[in-house]
A and B are shown apart, each in its own frame.
Chain A
Amino acid sequence: AQKVTQAQTEISVVEKEDVTLDCVYETRDTTYYLFWYKQPPSGELVFLIRRNSFDEQNEISGRYSWNFQKSTSSFNFTITASQVVDSAVYFCALSEPYYGNNRLAFGKGNQVVVIP
């Protein structure tokens, strides 16, 4: 069963526009971790943000912000004022410590293209 769903495959925006990436997850664990990673063309995954299931506070870090809602099992990610360097594939991931034996599952990713 798909644990992490990222519905949009490719998103194109004009530079300086905001872009929001949706992520829906499913888990039996009551304690779990959610992540967003960025994969630039070089291929290496870069960690962006983490949220623990017991902390629903939404935060802003520079041009990144996220909206975590347990009630809808969603963990959406927003890039504000996008730049060309933001062009990459973005992955949402779920870590399940107990029922999943620390399984770490990723969604299919969103290809973000920022047009100058």
Chain B
Amino acid sequence: DGGITQSPKYLFRKEGQNVTLSCEQNLNHDAMYWYRQDPGQGLRLIYYSQIVNDFQKGDIAEGYSVSREKKESFPLTVTSAQKNPTAFYLCASMGVRSWNTEAFFGQGTRLTVV
């Protein structure tokens, strides 16, 4: 089935460690997105990419990095520079060449710093 897969579902990180969240889609979508969700904060855009080997910073990119080496994959690295990384992370993808487009979301990764 076509869809978008995030892994792992739960992730624990020690302070000072980098950790990478996986996001894979088989929908042949050009655009991919990473969001962070904190209680009461809604979805805040971290990074987005509309094409392979290109990405743009969102509203809260500091302390995060991404890569887009393949159309299907858009991994997010939470670096040690991110001071408060505990949050729910959502990845999305969207086709951009059709008027009938919508964003599809993964099931999310809950990251906890221990």
8 A Cβ contacts from A17-57 to B: 33, 35, 37, 43-45, 47, 50, 52
Interface of B is mostly: strand
Q: Are A101 and B90 in contact (CB under 8 A)?
A: no
Q: Are A102 and B48 in contact (CB under 8 A)?
A: yes
Q: Is A68 an interface residue (CB 8 A)?
A: no
Contact A33 B101 (CB under 8 A): yes
Q: Within 8 Å CB of A50, what residues of B? A: 100-102
> What is the total of A-B residue contacts with beta carbons within 8 Å?
62
Q: Please tell me the size bucket of the interface on B.
A: 20 to 34
**Chain A interface main SS type:** strand
Q: Which of B41, B101, B106 contacts A108 (CB 8 A)?
A: B41
Is there a chain B Cβ closer than 8 Å to A84's Cβ?
no
State which size class the interface on A falls in: 20 to 34
A-chain residues with CB within 8 Å of residue B40 when the two chains form the complex: 9, 108
Chain B 29-72, CB within 8 Å of chain A: the 1/0 string? 01101010000111111001010000010100000000000000
Q: Contacts A93-B103, A103-B56 known; A43 to B88 CB distance under 8 Å?
A: yes
Q: Which residues of A contact B (CB under 8 A)?
A: 6, 9, 33, 35, 37, 43-45, 47, 50, 52, 91, 93, 95, 97, 101-109
Residues of B within 8 A of A (CB): 30-31, 33, 35, 40-45, 48, 50, 56, 58, 88, 90, 92, 94, 96, 99-108
